[in-house]
Structure 1
Amino acid sequence: MEALLRWNPSFGAVSPDEFIPISEETGLILPIGEWVLREACRQIKKWEKQKLPKVMVSVNVSARQFKDRNFPLKVRGIIKEENINPNDLEIEITESVMLDVEGASQIIQRLKELGLKVAIDDFGTGYSSLNVMKSVEIDTLKIDKSMIYDVSENDRMLSMLTAIIRLGKDLNTQVIIEGVETKEQSELLKEYSVIGQGYFYSPPLSPEQVWNKQWNNRVSK
């Protein structure tokens, strides 16, 4: 599962595409990011106490958070305070934060030493993270939704998607394709044996909705 941040003030819902960039610019993303991480850990613990199926939760980390050298220490503190198994938490970072290859590699290694999983999000959007993947063991490769958008009508895009999937598997990473919205896209992914993520499978759900009867029936199908 992936933790998603939503803002629904009294004057109406505000898109993450609007408030996240502003939070980045003002620096508010740092306390917001820590709050999201802590809430995700608390939810993991809550599900554990309810004896619900064990599932890993991914949390997106902004470039500004990731560049904070104390970030691994903050993560360790939250994990300890909320008393969760670090193996139940995955940190998602975008390719863009890895332009500083040496710095990114060090932070990723420190996070993995804590027992966390690390995922590269939005892979294939134009930044090169191959150097980091060469030196650091990444657990999950999340391929950007733009790579599957018109793949059924674009042979060049299909070749690129196939190559990236092969790269991920050769490096023993879990491969996830983001932005799956149609049955056609879902069927295409079956031959690659990868995980699909997107509205075709489910819209965003509240923690209470995830394990309700309707959702359990949908997953079993």
Structure 2
Amino acid sequence: MNLASGDVIGYEALLRWQSPLGNVSPSEFIPIAEETGWIVPIGEWALRQACRDSKEFSVLGHADEKISVNVSARQFKDPDFSEKVRIIFEEEQVDATRFEIETTESVMLDIEQSARIICELKAFGLRIAIDDFGAGYSSLNVVKIVEIDTLKIDKSLIDEVLINRRNLFILAAIIEVGKNLDADIVIEGIELEEQAELLKPFEILGQGYLFSRPLPPGSLGSFLSESTAVTARTAPKPIQ
């Protein structure tokens, strides 16, 4: 979400397990999938499904929004990962420039291999986002060495921004670093209107439950249409 204009500029593909016994939290099944190696085929399926969903959204008139797909550390360590991604986009016949591969800072600990894979992914049009930026590890080392398109600032920095001004100063510094690197800035975990209002002057992007809870693909088209209509109604009118 563009915090200044209210425009929806993209969405993130998330894994949800709707078991016959009830919904299973990602915090429960993702670590197990990582440990067993099942995250690799699951991740490939998620990317392919996001490609297919994007074609459905295009038919509904939503072909411009960016789509972000999470990639696990285990996938990123696969030396053939970029080739597998290329094949998926080739087989699904979708525009890679519309997609963003999202991973975490921890993946970048092996900076040499990470830089190689990132260069290969960017060579066929994909954008790269670092999730949970500022949460730990080596944030600045990553952006010094690798060209990143989007920095997604960790939710922990926004949680107390209304009551702890120091967090706001830290947030402002990180935003400035990102802008100087020509990266898009996304603040994660926005849940309160006051948070969104506080961040508007920074001219950045945001995501969180304030704007929408996770939605099934079938509901996204109507959500985007409603958001477009709301933006049109609330946009400043030109002076006659």
For the superposition of Structure 1 and Structure 2, which TM-score range results when normalised by the shorter chain? over 0.9
Structure 1 distance, partners of 2:28, 2:201, is 37
* Equivalent position SS for 1:199: coil
CA RMSD between the two structures: 1.3
* Equivalent position SS for 2:159: coil
Residue of structure 2 aligned with 1:104, choices 110, 114, 138? 114
Residue of structure 1 aligned with 2:214, choices 195, 204, 207? 204
Residue of structure 1 aligned with 2:144, choices 134, 137, 150? 134
2:30 is the alignment partner of 1:10: no
Deviates more, 1:126-135 or 1:108-117: 126-135
State the match for 1:79 in structure 2: 89
Structure 2 distance, partners of 1:135, 1:12, is 44
Residue of structure 1 aligned with 2:229, choices 204, 208, 217? 217
Deviates more, 1:49-58 or 1:132-141: 49-58
Higher relative contact order (CA 8 A, sep 6+): 2
Equivalences for 1:17-96 in 2 at 5 Å? 17-96=27-106
5+ residue gaps, structure 1, are none
Q: 1:74 to 1:53 in 2, by over 3 A?
A: closer
State the match for 1:154 in structure 2: 164
Contact 1:175 1:194 in 2 (8 A): yes
* Equivalent position SS for 1:125: coil
5+ residue gaps, structure 2, are 1-10, 235-240
TM-score, with length taken from structure 2: 0.88
Deviations 1:81-130 (A, max 9, x none): 00011101110010111111111111111111111000000101111132
Contact 1:181 1:198 in 2 (8 A): yes
Structure 2 distance, partners of 1:118, 1:42, is 20
State the match for 2:178 in structure 1: 168
Structure 1 distance, partners of 2:216, 2:227, is 12
Aligned length: 221
Residue of structure 1 aligned with 2:131, choices 95, 114, 121? 121
Superposed displacement of residue 77, structure 1? 0.1
* Equivalent position SS for 1:203: coil
2:202 is the alignment partner of 1:192: yes
Structure 2 distance, partners of 1:215, 1:208, is 16
Deviates more, 1:52-61 or 1:109-118: 52-61
Superposed displacement of residue 210, structure 1? 1.7
Structure 1 distance, partners of 2:141, 2:62, is 39
Instruction: Kindly provide the amino acid, as one letter, of the partner of residue 174 in structure 1.
Output: D
Superposed displacement of residue 36, structure 1? 0.1
